[in-house]
Amino acid sequence: MKKFNAFLVIMFFAANCFGADLIVLSGAGLMKPMEELRQGFERRYGVNLDIHYGSSGEIFGQVASGQACDVLVPGAKKYTEDALKNGWVIKGTIKTLVYHVPTIAVPSGNPKNITCLEDLAKPGVRIAIGDPRAPAIGRVARKILIKNGLWERVMPNITVYAPTVNQLLIYVALSQVDAAIIWADLATWAEAKGKLKVVKIAKKKNMIRTISTAVCTNAPHRDMARKFNEYISSNYGMKVWQKWGFKPCRDN
């Protein structure tokens, strides 16, 4: 039985490696632009992409465990930098793509009258943030609150720690919480239209991040991985990112 189970594991990873022409691990919050880019790339090159979406912590862990991956696109550049330190991505392929801007999302109508970061500490306000151990937005949200001396005051109001930023969007859209710290680009999603309002965080109080892409050191499909890396950072790629609410960086 043990030998049979081991065989299944081997076959599972083999399917992941050879069932697609390219394997990409991407932050869940990047799903909308990545899906449009995937479709365009598949049409252009006649290939099949397998994109796995998850929290940045989750996909980082998958790379760390040796899961097959050609291109890594986490929700914050820190994860790419950590992957580089561990030798999991090729330095010369790292490309900084777009800015990732944290913002406060509240349900349509803003029932608790949230106007600034400090209002998250008001009594009776139900707050959702990402799990600091999972999505990039969770780590960043905690750092923003600590930076502004609000973490201890906001903690009693936190009713849920979400595993992905997508889940945070749902909590707000369904009015299950009064506010959540999410990425600003999610406000362009159809799931958000008419269901939430964005309250900007003052620039001096915010912690804006960047998103980068990189080819993995052990990429099973190295040549195609480099093409996809170039594709999503090209001028066309930047237009797709902008369409979904992202602001391009200028250091590619």
Can you give the CATH number for the domain in which 75 is found? 3.40.190.10
Q: Are 126 and 193 contained in the same domain?
A: yes
Range of the domain at 172: 102-205
Q: Give the C-alpha separation, 150 to 143, whole Å.
A: 10
pLDDT at residue 4 in the model: 36
Q: Does residue 48 share a domain with residue 27? A: yes
Q: Are strands 22-27 and 49-54 parallel, antiparallel or unpaired?
A: parallel
Beta bridge partners of 248: 98
Measure the CA–CA gap between 26 and 51, rounded to whole angstroms: 7
177 and 110 co-located in one domain: yes
135 and 65 in a single domain? The answer is no
Quick one: 152 and 231 in the same domain? no
Q: What is the pLDDT along the chain (252 residues), one digit of tens a residue?
A: 434 333 333 333 444 444 789 999 999 999 999 999 999 999 999 999 999 999 999 999 999 999 999 999 999 999 999 999 999 999 999 999 999 999 999 999 999 999 999 999 999 999 999 999 999 999 999 999 999 999 999 999 999 999 999 999 999 999 999 999 999 999 989 889 999 999 999 999 999 999 999 999 999 999 999 999 999 999 999 999 999 999 999 654
102 strand-pairing partners: 183
CA angle, residues 180, 53, 38, in degrees to nearest 5: 115
Helix boundaries (H) for the chain: 2-18, 31-45, 56-64, 77-85, 136-147, 151-154, 165-173, 222-232, 235-243
Residues 192 and 225 in one domain: no
Count: domains in the chain: 2
27 with 16, same domain: the answer is yes
Other C-beta atoms closer than 10 Å to the C-beta of 26 total 26
Give the pLDDT of residue 206. 98
pLDDT given for residue 6 in this prediction: 37
Kind of pairing between the strands at 158-162 and 71-73: unpaired
Q: Are residues 51 and 127 in the same domain?
A: no
Judgement on whether residues 17 and 78 belong to the same structural domain of the protein: yes
| 14 plus 43 within the same structural domain | yes
Question: Do 73 and 216 contact (CB within 8 A), yes or no?
Answer: no
Do 197 and 114 lie in one domain? The reply is yes
185, 210 in Cβ contact below 8 A? no
Cα separation, 137 vs 139, in Å, equals: 6
- Cβ(147)–Cβ(207) below 8 Å: yes
pLDDT at position 20: 84
Same domain, yes or no, for 215 and 142?
A: no
Distance between CA 185 and CA 210 in Å, rounded? 13
CA-to-CA distance for 29 and 75, rounded, in angstroms?
A: 7
